[in-house]
Structure 1
Amino acid sequence: MEKEHRAYKSHCLVLPYPSQGHINPLFQFSKLLDHKQIKVTLVTTRFTSKTMHRGSSGIELEAISDGYDEGGIDQAESIQAYIESFWKVGPETLAELLEKLSSSGCPVNCIVYDSVMPWALDVAKKFGIVGAAFFTQSCVVDSIYYHVNKGLLNLPLTDSEISLPGMPPLEPLDLPSFVYDFGSYPAFFEVVIGQFSTVDKADWVFCNTFYELEEQVVDWMAKFWPLRTIGPTIPSKYLDNQLDDDKDYGVDLFRSNNDACMKWLNEHPKNSVAYISFGSFAQLGLEEMEELAWGLRRSKSKFLWVVRESETAKVPKGFIEETAEKGLVVSWCCQLEVLAHEAVGCFITHCGWNSTLESLCLGVPLVAMPQWTDQSTNAKYIRDVWKIGVKAQPDEKGIVRREEVEHCISEIMEGERGKEIQKNAMKWKDLARKAVIQGGSSDKNIDEFIATLVKR
């Protein structure tokens, strides 16, 4: 009942792209705004709203249409068809929702929208309210896409070394896959480059990072836009404990059996387990999956491996039974709870930005196995800039072999380099916490945003 009688200062609609990796940071940001007395309505698609498992955050939920209300993106004949439909129907139904909420006791005066959906800013401007773009990837990756959008980085790439402001020298394979493998995913390429089509008109530009992590690139981008770092947006229990009972993201498109994971981890000593997960979207080829499996089997370390139900057929026959003494294979888990467990000594990851931030905030060293999109750039920074992990080197076929998997785990769990990586991981963990506590760089940026919102 307390929620219903709170005196809110303002009302924000928060609109993420309807996938787990985009919903998580925007929903977590919503909780931060709510904690600071801003009323928040999370807006997702009708199909997603019917399929997600919600926690008890108290944040209101509304839905708009993507044109595929019964099946979402899986109902569409192609990714291109889905995007075209969503980009047409989304603005129309978002405008209808704003009309509906305008007669409520607390009308909307701001839309915080996922940067991959720039049409939301047009809707905000039409209604005369604040529009804030929210970039869910790193500032480094955003800056690379910006350079492509402006024609400052020409594709296909021809140079063997790329120099961009605020970044170390990059090789082509250090860039996002949509850039170095030009033409590989044209629909996604158009979306990530299209993020910048209206950003110059945005009242605010938020990035899910913290200033100390990407200082030089943030400073460069802030010359062009009202850019503010507001991350890392992970549940408070694992970072600063400022929000009561904030122990998970609160929205999940997958069901997990976390009790089994925790029970298993509790049986193992500190820093003895390698945790493996490739997120909610990445798919490994059959040969890649087999090599990873046999690399885990060869390793001296125990392992906890997340294999989504859609990927289980790729696990070698008999592997789960043969490795039952040293490993546990599950279809999904609460990654934060796993990473926070003292038994976990390293994280073999696809290097999605959310996973990268989570491991950084919890001080867990990484074995980088990037698959596509922004992950190769994140892997470059993990190994060479932040020095919080190693990168598994693929062979000439692009496959990480079992010997390499075994070597990387050993290097972190047993080697001298692993001790240095662990030390760096703890340094960044402390800096992440300092950014979000009261008076930290991200906390001050959020307070500045709220102060200007309340004045309107």
Structure 2
Amino acid sequence: MEKHSKAEPLHILFFPFFAPGHMIPMVDLAKLFSSHGVKSTILTTHANAPLIQPTIDHFNSNSTHHHLLPIALLLVPFPSAEVGLSPGVENSVSITTPEMRTKMLQAISLFRQPFDQILREQLIDAVITDNLFVWSSDAAAEFCVPRLVFSGSGVFNHCVGDSLLRYDPMSALQTEDETVVIPGLPHKIEMLRTQMPDPKKRPEFWKFALDMREAAEKSFGDVVNSFYDLESHYVEHYRNFIGRRAWLVGPLSLYNRDVADNSRRGNRVSIDWDECLNWLDSKQPGSVLYVCFGTISHISNIQLREIAIGLDASGKDFIWVVRDTEGGLDWLPEGLEEKRGLIIRGWAPQILILNHSAVGAFLTHCGWNSCTEGVSAGVPLITWPLFADQFYNEKVVVEIEKVGVSIGAKEFGFFPDTKSLIMADVIEKAVERVMGEGEEAAGVRKRARELGEKAKRAVEEGGSSRADLKQLIEELSARRNAKSK
């Protein structure tokens, strides 16, 4: 294989999984590396390109002015026919059934061949791939290219995953309503069995988790969208007890201060930012509740109505981002939006909203991107996890950092039929616990503001995340230069 000269910039290939929560932070990561003199190339499919192309174009348009290297985009076909998905269904946003989700995961293994071809044809110094692409560790090793893992979640989630695989505490449980104590962690972490994927019911999930751990252990290390002060105990646990290398370079959202850029992150926003800004400007500081359950969550209409009734009873103004639902907005009580709400149908400029002074709390599904964006804005969270790493993320927010309160969700699941209904009065009380006048609310808000300041310091010159980024680039450059001798 042809070798780089030392004068050439480091070249990193980024390959995110096909979901907004994975793609958007990976693009932010590529922008961050490019801003530090690295040549960045992002690999994705044709149908997924429009999700990230505007952000890349905006970055590249400013690259010449700021003497930055532009980001390149490489497109490969999605194997729709091979796995039985309809043409154009190339992103988790389009997944509506468990069967489709299985087919999407099956498609992952079929990207090995085009990935190999790129490594064969281009001079790549390192790859940063999603943890779901377990084969990419072996692929990179075959070409003597270091593979870094990016999962889009925090270090705490990795530590919990390691403990579950290492000790298998769920194997001893006898009933559905038992509590699991996650062994070997710096804090006592208890979970309901129903809040976790059950390996007995989903053995394929357990096997895949083992495959991901094996692939990660063979990799160069992890690049994490987090910062040291958010997960300090678990960073030390991960590095020293588990023995894995990790560079915390986030929160990535804090590198996006440009209004135009934030309006381009993800799908086209469904509301004009000026309209949203004018509405927020008309509200008192800290008086608005922002509600968003992410891009791929499914909420039943009956649950949406309970949320609406709870928001109305809370007496707080709100911005609520809703996906398209069956029957449109028939579940919305008549007159509620006009009385105190702004409902955004589709994609919203979340970072801009969270950082507006009128926003006083964030009701969230606890996706890691949303958690870090809320934390970075210094906004307390009301946590309503649904699936994936979200119940673990809730522990970071509510129990470890104490910058939020839990709504009390108890069931892990991708679709509404697995969930118990959370009633309006519970929602109303949770809002009061973070936005009310009581001592608990005041304490949560104070801790959230303080953690937000720590997040900002982490990405500034001299901060922990800035130092980790520079260290990683230096290590990869030194490795590349040693190979060139």
Q: What is the TM-score with the length of structure 2 in the denominator?
A: 0.83
Correspondence for 1:127:
143
Asked whether the 8 Å contact 2:361–2:381 carries over to 1, the reply is yes
Distance 2:253 2:348 in 1: 16
Distance 1:14 1:94 in 2: 11
- Tell whether 2:475 aligns with 1:452: yes
Distance 2:239 2:468 in 1: 13
Cα offset, 1:296, TM superposition: 1.1
Alignment of 1:213-292 (within 5 A): 213-223=230-240, 224-238=243-257, 247-248=261-262, 251-259=265-273, 260-292=275-307
Taking only aligned residues, the RMSD between alpha carbons, in angstroms, comes to 2.7
Distance 2:153 2:51 in 1: 25
Of 89, 105, 110 in structure 2, the residue corresponding to residue 83 of structure 1 is 105
Cα offset, 1:172, TM superposition: 2.5
Q: Which runs of 5+ in 1 are unaligned?
A: 1-6, 239-243
Of 70, 75, 93 in structure 1, the residue corresponding to residue 114 of structure 2 is 93
Asked whether the 8 Å contact 1:45–1:66 carries over to 2, the reply is yes
Q: Which moved more, 1:189-198 or 1:296-305?
A: 189-198
Distance 1:176 1:213 in 2: 23
**Kindly tell me: are residues 323 and 32 of structure 1, through their superposed partners in 2, closer, same or farther at Cα, counting changes over 3 Å?**
closer
Alignment of 1:124-163 (within 5 A): 124-155=140-171, 157=173, 160-163=179-182
Q: Which moved more, 1:423-432 or 1:7-16?
A: 7-16
Cα offset, 1:71, TM superposition: 2.5
Cα offset, 1:366, TM superposition: 1.0
Q: Which moved more, 1:400-409 or 1:160-169?
A: 160-169
- Tell whether 2:419 aligns with 1:403: no
Correspondence for 1:201:
218
Distance 1:368 1:358 in 2: 14
Q: What is the TM-score with the length of structure 1 in the denominator?
A: 0.88
**Kindly tell me: are residues 435 and 322 of structure 1, through their superposed partners in 2, closer, same or farther at Cα, counting changes over 3 Å?**
closer
Amino acid corresponding to residue 280 of structure 1 in structure 2: T
**Kindly tell me: are residues 215 and 164 of structure 1, through their superposed partners in 2, closer, same or farther at Cα, counting changes over 3 Å?**
farther
Asked whether the 8 Å contact 1:174–1:377 carries over to 2, the reply is no
**Kindly tell me: are residues 292 and 177 of structure 1, through their superposed partners in 2, closer, same or farther at Cα, counting changes over 3 Å?**
same
**Kindly tell me: are residues 246 and 440 of structure 1, through their superposed partners in 2, closer, same or farther at Cα, counting changes over 3 Å?**
farther
Amino acid corresponding to residue 273 of structure 1 in structure 2: V
Count of aligned positions: 436
Cα offset, 1:163, TM superposition: 4.0
Amino acid corresponding to residue 48 of structure 2 in structure 1: T
Correspondence for 1:34:
34
**Kindly tell me: are residues 155 and 46 of structure 1, through their superposed partners in 2, closer, same or farther at Cα, counting changes over 3 Å?**
farther
Alignment of 1:311-350 (within 5 A): 311=325, 313=327, 315-317=329-331, 319=333, 321-331=335-345, 332-350=347-365
**Kindly tell me: are residues 272 and 112 of structure 1, through their superposed partners in 2, closer, same or farther at Cα, counting changes over 3 Å?**
same
- Residues 31-67 of structure 1: CA distance to partner in whole angstroms, max 9, x if unpaired? 1110110000011123212555522112211123441
Asked whether the 8 Å contact 1:394–1:401 carries over to 2, the reply is no
Asked whether the 8 Å contact 1:290–1:314 carries over to 2, the reply is no
Asked whether the 8 Å contact 1:360–1:425 carries over to 2, the reply is yes
- Residues 420-450 of structure 1: CA distance to partner in whole angstroms, max 9, x if unpaired? 1111001111111122112221211111111
Alignment of 1:45-124 (within 5 A): 45-50=45-50, 52=52, 54-55=54-55, 56-58=58-60, 59-68=71-80, 70-72=88-90, 74=94, 78-87=100-109, 89-100=110-121, 102=122, 107-124=123-140
Of 421, 441, 445 in structure 1, the residue corresponding to residue 464 of structure 2 is 441
**Kindly tell me: are residues 381 and 204 of structure 1, through their superposed partners in 2, closer, same or farther at Cα, counting changes over 3 Å?**
closer
- Residues 243-285 of structure 1: CA distance to partner in whole angstroms, max 9, x if unpaired? x788428541353314232221121111111110001111112
SS in 1 for 2:351: helix
- Residues 191-230 of structure 1: CA distance to partner in whole angstroms, max 9, x if unpaired? 4453212112111222221122112221121131222222
Distance 1:305 1:387 in 2: 24
Of 434, 441, 446 in structure 2, the residue corresponding to residue 423 of structure 1 is 446
Asked whether the 8 Å contact 1:148–1:193 carries over to 2, the reply is no
Asked whether the 8 Å contact 1:174–1:376 carries over to 2, the reply is no
Distance 1:443 1:118 in 2: 28
- Residues 275-316 of structure 1: CA distance to partner in whole angstroms, max 9, x if unpaired? 10001111112322111011111121111110012x363744
Distance 2:351 2:249 in 1: 19
Amino acid corresponding to residue 426 of structure 1 in structure 2: R
- Tell whether 2:323 aligns with 1:308: yes
Asked whether the 8 Å contact 1:116–1:194 carries over to 2, the reply is no
Amino acid corresponding to residue 422 of structure 2 in structure 1: V
Q: Which moved more, 1:132-141 or 1:63-72?
A: 63-72
- Tell whether 2:191 aligns with 1:172: yes
Cα offset, 1:325, TM superposition: 2.1
Cα offset, 1:127, TM superposition: 1.3
Distance 1:189 1:251 in 2: 33
Correspondence for 2:83:
none
Distance 1:275 1:174 in 2: 30
**Kindly tell me: are residues 35 and 395 of structure 1, through their superposed partners in 2, closer, same or farther at Cα, counting changes over 3 Å?**
closer
SS in 2 for 1:219: helix
Correspondence for 1:378:
393
Q: Which moved more, 1:147-156 or 1:135-144?
A: 147-156
Identity %: 24
Cα offset, 1:173, TM superposition: 2.4
Cα offset, 1:9, TM superposition: 2.0
Cα offset, 1:324, TM superposition: 0.9
Cα offset, 1:185, TM superposition: 6.1
Correspondence for 1:211:
228
Distance 2:410 2:466 in 1: 43
